[in-house]
Amino acid sequence: MALNKKQKKQLDVERKKMSKLQQVLTSARKQTDEPDEVARVEREIDACRKRIEEIQNE
């Protein structure tokens, strides 16, 4: 399946966002001052993965 230019750009943006979220998650796990932050970041990562799958399946 070939992706068009817009889809490639969307994938690039989502992958960059996921990379940043992974770094935030690592930091959040080290710092326990906000206990709900880890769960929030994990939900954002899951949403990002779903968006990537949707773009790839179009």
> What are the pLDDT digits (tens) for 3-58?
899 999 999 999 999 999 999 999 999 988 888 999 999 999 999 999 999 999 98
- pTM, 2 dp: 0.85
Q: What is the pLDDT of residue 33?
A: 87
Asked whether residue 1 carries a pLDDT value surpassing 70, the answer given is no
Q: What is the pLDDT of residue 20?
A: 98
Amino acid at 39: A
Distance in angstroms (rounded) separating the CA atoms of residues 7 and 52: 10
Distance in angstroms (rounded) separating the CA atoms of residues 45 and 22: 8
Q: What is the pLDDT of residue 58?
A: 83
DSSP 8-state code for residue 39: H
